[in-house]
Amino acid sequence: MSNNRLIASLLGFICIVVMVLALKELSSIFIPLIFAFLFSIIVSPLITLFSKIKIPKAISLTIVVLAVFLILYLLGLIIYASFASFIQEWPKYEKNLQTTLQQTLDGVNLPMERFKEYFSKMDWGKNFENISLSSVISGTIGSFITFIGYVILVLIFSLFLLSGHYNIGEKIKLAFESDRAAVIAEVMNTIQSKVRIYLITHFMISAMTAIVGVGFILLFGCDFPIVSGVLIFTLNFIPNIGSIIATVFPVLICMIEYGYSWRVPGLLACLVATQMVFGNVVEPLLMGRGLNLSPIVIILCLIFWGWVWGLVGMVLAVPLTSSLVIVCENIDSLRPIAVLLSGKGALARKE
């Protein structure tokens, strides 16, 4: 018996390793597929509503997909134009950057004359000229084209997922016994409901945080508010550390633009206060217990999915892990894993 358990454990470990390597190597396929799955979860109630009012399936799917593609395309154009403007206007900050560095060295009173002389004589304009602006812009255009390609691939996957959404319940009833089919349907509905609530609520919170942050950036007269807003919105999907990283960029721009001005600590205080209010007050108020993941588990998931899929993996870490917890808590043999991963050690279905 012990040998059988050992063999089963080793086989399970090998399967996990193979799956992780497959996820990492085939990221170009799995990432759009995961985004398509999450997108289908969000819009599935809209598809169900269309079916109730007797709109044909093909028409409803076409309306939803085209509307989402148009919105993402317009947002992509705005983001691309903002980042292109950021790249083009960056060299004008060379004098401010040089002055700020000199003030920093003078402020700490470092006895490093050669170091100071090096920075004072550095031709920042020439250094920026060495960076080919055309290559950077072409690279940005290439990234935008890649983004559009990913969007199209996600929408194609979503079409297949949403088209099968209509009769998934009937297929489960035909494939399994009535009791087993009810459990599987309950697990799927729970996953979709919790992940949908998390994504929609977090999307709204991130959008409000970005809007308020952009308002403060404009109030303090700092450049590149759209770029900063995009970063704040995107990085807010990364728990704990995303909001910190999102605050760094606009504060650095403010420091380079105005030096050691009162604007820098003022903007920093406003952005941190915004993150604290929306992250620690508004989000728990709207989401309640949320997806019930332990803080340690969240950090480990960020590290793991960040290693597998980079920044995109960190954004997807919480929805993917919470889906795994929901599946485990509905399978008797895997329920201890769900308890260990949960935030309070209690299963949602027992509360």
Q: What is the per-residue pLDDT across 166-178, written as a single tens digit (0 to 9) for each?
A: 666 667 777 777 7
pLDDT band at residue 191 using 50, 70 and 90 as cut-offs = confident
**Quick check: is 111 in a domain?**
yes
Residue 195 has pLDDT above 60, yes or no: yes
The pTM (predicted TM-score) of the whole model is 0.72
Least confident of 32-41, 111-120, 236-245: 111-120
CB 149 within 8 A of CB 31: no
Confirm whether 60 is domain-assigned.
yes
State pLDDT tens for residues 317-346: 877 887 777 777 766 777 787 777 776 644
Indicate whether 250 belongs to any domain.
no
pLDDT value at residue 88: 72
Residues 153 and 37: their CA atoms lie apart, in Å, by 12
CA distance 325 to 293: 9
- pLDDT one-digit tens code per residue, 246-289: 888 888 888 888 777 788 889 999 999 998 888 777 877 776 55
Distance CA 285, CA 279 (A): 10
136 pLDDT more than 50: no
Spatial contact of 243 and 279, defined as CB atoms under 8 Å apart: yes
Residue among 23, 32, 232 nearest 151 (CA): 32
- 195 against 105, higher pLDDT: 195
Query: Is residue 82 included in any domain, yes or no?
Result: yes
- The span from the CA of 332 to the CA of 180, in Å, is 13
pLDDT at position 297 is 80
In a domain, 310, yes or no: no
Lookup: tokens for 43: 């819009």
Confidence of residue 98 (pLDDT cuts 50, 70, 90): low
Give a yes or no: residue 49 inside a domain.
yes
Q: Residue 133 falls within a domain, yes or no?
A: yes
Confidence of residue 56 (pLDDT cuts 50, 70, 90): confident
| Average pLDDT in the chain | 75
Q: What phi, psi does 289 have (nearest 5°)?
A: -75, -10
Residues listed for the chain: 351
Here the tokens at position 325 are 């917890």
Q: Note down the domain range covering 145.
A: 28-166
Distance CA 196, CA 214 (A): 27
In a domain, 106, yes or no: yes
* Structural domain count, the chain: 1
Closest-CA residue to 262 (of 230, 220, 226): 220
